[in-house]
Amino acid sequence: MNQPAQLPPNTAVPWFPRTKLQPPRPRGDLLARPRLVAPLRYALQHARLILITAPAGAGKTTLLTTALAELPRTSAWVSLDTDDNDLARFLSVLLAALEQLAPGIRATAGIIAHILEEHQSDQTTQVRQAISSIINTLLELSPTPGLLILDDLHVIHEPLIHKAIEYLIEQLPMHLTLAIATRHDPPLPLARLRARRELLELRLAELRFTTEETVALLTGCLGLPLSATEVTTLHQRTEGWAAGLSLLADSLTPLESPEQRIRLLSHLAQTERYLFDYLAEEVLNQQDSLTRSFLLETAILSELTPQICQSLTGRSDASMILEHLYRRNLFLIKIQSDPAIGNDQATYRYHDLFRAFLQEHMRRGDPALLRELHRRAAGIVGDPLRAIDHLCHAELWDAAADQIESIGDGLLARGAHHILQSTIDMLPESMRAARPRLRYLLGICAWQRWDSGTAIRLLEYAANDFARLGDTIRQGEALVFLSTALGHAGSLARARETAEQALFLPLHPARRVQLLASRAWQNLVGGEWPQAAADLDEAMAIVERTHDTHACSALTVALRGSLISLPGAIERIARFSRLIVKLAPPNNRELYAAAAAMRAWAAIWLDNWEIAEAETQSALDLLSPTDPFSIIHAEIFLQQPVCAALSGQTAQADTYIARLLAALEPQGGMLRTERLLSFLHMIARIRWLQGRYEDLRAIYARMTAALPSSVWPSDAVLCREIGALLHLVDGRGQAAIADLTIAAEDQTRLMVAPILGDPRLHLAYAYLQANMPEQAAAIARPVLTAIRREGMPGRLRWQGSAIVIPILRLFVEDGGSHAEFAATTLARLEPEMNK
């Protein structure tokens, strides 16, 4: 009999190694070049961009490394690599680097991540909004004057990242300067920067060593016993090319006679490219066989440590070899160690061209050995993503797929679905199609980037394949996410059918809770709110019965403000808070923040907005500024302007709304349009409370423009209600009654959440305005009954005093069962109305 699945552990996989943010360690034998440092110092005061463009080995990185100590600014360093061609990763690296100049800027990471997910179809907006968030945060944090260095920009070929850098340069604050080192001109508006005198360019002509510098380097720093003729020949042949000088110097060192050295120099090619190829081969061929083997075998590693090199090659003297190669400047760069991440070993990397040469040499000479080396490396590198890369190069596809499947859930839990997607894409298409688990992971990746169509297709394939294999546990997992994706795509009937199928399969408690909560949403928007309440209560009962923390987390994602509109909301929130206290680990700040956010809604509906404000602040304090933006953040960001509006703090409400819009609006937001409509509706209700009717019209225009792309039935109700409020503002009473009558019927059918308003009370007010008190009382009476039964007087305040006070006065004058409640509520609201 199948048992409920066990959730995999949350595998911690970093986005990038922190050594990317550390400049190469300066060598002791480097030549100081004050003629190049002087223009750099000038550019810090007058230029937006410092562009250092030259072929490989021209000394770009070396210049920047040696100049840092002499420049009067704090610096932030980024060593770019080909993996940074993913926009999300590039922005993540950029934020981590800028943290050195503006501590606290990483708080922008969550909003940027959701900007990227939201605007897959509008890449220009995607880039501009992400960079704007970074620039605005830089301005808010007011960092000290600094220099941001992007080294090896030539490895970037993704146009989106070039756009991001272009926009960054255009908007860069005056106290920051960007320096770029690259082998060729990037696609940036260099002509415009030249015209504005905001660009310093250092090219090969400037980086070439002068004759005097060549003499100082070879005979002074390196101590080579070269004659003046030999130095002149070397300088002429290399044309002052830094890497050529270093490599030639290394090649000349073992040659004892001037004749041998001259013969070597006479065979050099005339261009830097041929010089490099020639020297690379000459250097390799001049090594002893053991050193030569060491170079070739370790060339597959992106980073070299003595321990990894020893495990890969079997050489116990790996540490000595690495240090020897580094001292000889054999295309080996030493990376700063980082004790903070447990890396106190010397770490190196090969110059990328030299590494490429060694790898190509292996591919041509012994491809079988190259695959074997990758196989060995896969077993010794600590990073699972690098292990997968080695397995793929070794063409061990099944092993690579096994590894991907083992870390897939962990990557998804960290929000790294872009990395998971690109990792799976390394596998052959036949492998991806043959493994239902890979299709399942790809389906969730598509769902998390809001590509519902692709997600549905892949998850259907996966669910069918699992069913055919008799794997009912994984079939159930696939159906859970498939139901969720179908619901988000608006296919509510199919979503509910899929949910029913999944509920008959063995599910981990967390997946069952996720499924029930998803179905509750689908039933709520589909007008079946009694079943929605039953699903939600069953999900909560599972958590109470199993005490499973994963299930508690799934409930946390599900139990949002809109679902608490269902009968029993206050008690449901109290149960949820008790569960958090009982089950949540002390370090799980997100669960405690979710509980505080739910208590804030309860306080709002109990008409205790002061307590609600305290709870929202408590929730924010629990969340770290560097946490990815989540649905809990969205909930809190929504509660804060509601509290401010209810307490009459107009300016504060505006501040909160601006922050909310920055995260949610279609041109720079984090949620899809169909969810955005409910948030816009909330903002419209705030403007209604404030009496700011022109702002209300503008928001209504945005809602109606977004409505055609919505898939939620309730969104039409929201738009109709705001349109009816504008009818009331404009004195079109009959039009308001017509629209509000339909909205009130929809409210009864759909049970639209009270946080989104109650059109029945607005309809009652419209009848009062039309001098039809009996009709007004008939409409309002069941609403007041429900509010009294649920103990939610705050729902009346949320409708607006201008609406509620005339209705309450009607019931006071009536003297019926609601008279005392109406009088008590009036006593609180009327003084505020008269302020």
Phi, psi of 666 (to 5 degrees): -60, -30
pLDDT tens-digit series, residues 28-46: 667 778 888 888 888 888 8
CB 36 within 8 A of CB 207: yes
Token pair 């029945």: residue = 760
- pLDDT of residue 796 exceeding 90: no
- Average pLDDT for 755-778: 86
Among 173-187, 274-288, 375-389, whose mean pLDDT is lowest? 274-288
Determine the pLDDT at residue 238.
Answer: 67
Mean pLDDT of 46-62: 84
How far is the CA of 519 from the CAs of 475, 482, 553, in angstroms? 18, 12, 17
Give mean pLDDT, residues 590-596: 83
The pLDDT of residue 2 is 45
Residue ranges, CATH 3.40.50.300, the chain: 18-207
At 406, is the pLDDT very low, low, confident or very high (cuts 50, 70, 90)?
very high
Q: Which residue has the higher pLDDT, 332 or 725?
A: 725
Q: What is the pLDDT of residue 778?
A: 92
3-state secondary structure of 186: coil
User: Phi/psi at 182 (nearest 5 deg)?
Assistant: -155, 160
Domain 400-612 fold: 1.25.40
Q: What is the largest CA-CA distance in the chain?
A: 118
Q: Is the pLDDT of residue 268 over 50?
A: no
Instruction: Determine the 3-state secondary structure of 15 from DSSP.
Output: coil
Quote the CA–CA distance of 566 and 740 in Å, as a whole number.
21
What the block records as the tokens of 832 is 């505020």
Q: Which residues pair with 182 in a beta bridge?
A: 53
Helix extents (H) in 623-772: 631-646, 650-664, 673-690, 693-706, 714-729, 733-750, 759-769
Centroid of chain to Cα 121: 17
**pLDDT digit string, tens, across residues 546-584:** 988 888 878 876 666 656 667 777 788 888 888 888 887
Range(s) of the chain covered by CATH 1.10.10:
289-382
More confident residue, 247 or 384: 384
Q: Give residue 83's pLDDT.
A: 83
Taking 60 as the threshold, does the pLDDT of residue 671 lie above it? no
> What whole-number percentage of the chain has pLDDT above 90?
19
Is the CA virtual torsion 712, 717, 723, 729 positive or negative?
Answer: negative
- Of the candidates 18, 768, 815, which has an alpha carbon nearest to the alpha carbon of residue 337? 18
pLDDT band at 339 (very low <50, low <70, confident <90, very high): very low
> What pLDDT score does 505 carry?
92
Nearest to 57 by CA among 260, 249, 222: 249
pLDDT band at 10 (very low <50, low <70, confident <90, very high): very low
Res. 668 pLDDT band, cuts 50 70 90: very low
Q: For the domain bounded by 686-833, which CATH number is listed?
A: 1.25.40
Q: What is the pLDDT of residues 104-161, one digit of tens each?
A: 887 777 777 667 767 666 777 878 888 888 888 888 886 678 899 999 998 898 888 9
**CATH 1.25.40.10 domain residues, the chain:** 400-612
Average pLDDT, the chain: 81
The residues pairing with 333 across neighbouring beta strands, listed in sequence order, are: 349
Query: Regarding the domain delimited by 18-207, which CATH topology (the fold level of the hierarchy) does it fall under?
Result: Rossmann fold (3.40.50)
Contact between residue 424 and residue 441 where contact means Cβ atoms under 8 Å apart: yes
pLDDT of 229 strictly over 60: yes
478, amino acid identity: A
Q: So what's the pLDDT on residue 331?
A: 67
pLDDT digits (tens, 9 = 90+) for 449-478: 778 889 999 999 999 999 999 999 999 999
Average pLDDT value for residue range 711-719:
75
Confidence check: pLDDT of 344 > 50: yes
d(CA 772, CA 152): 75
pLDDT of residue 148: 92
Q: Is the pLDDT of residue 373 over 60?
A: yes
Confidence of residue 338 (pLDDT cuts 50, 70, 90): very low
Question: How high is the pLDDT of residue 24?
Answer: 82
Residue with the bigger pLDDT between 363 and 438: it is: 438
Residues 6+ apart with CB under 8 A from 409: 7, 8, 10, 11
Architecture of the domain whose range is 289-382: Orthogonal Bundle (1.10)
| The pLDDT of residue 253 | 61
pLDDT of residue 231: 78
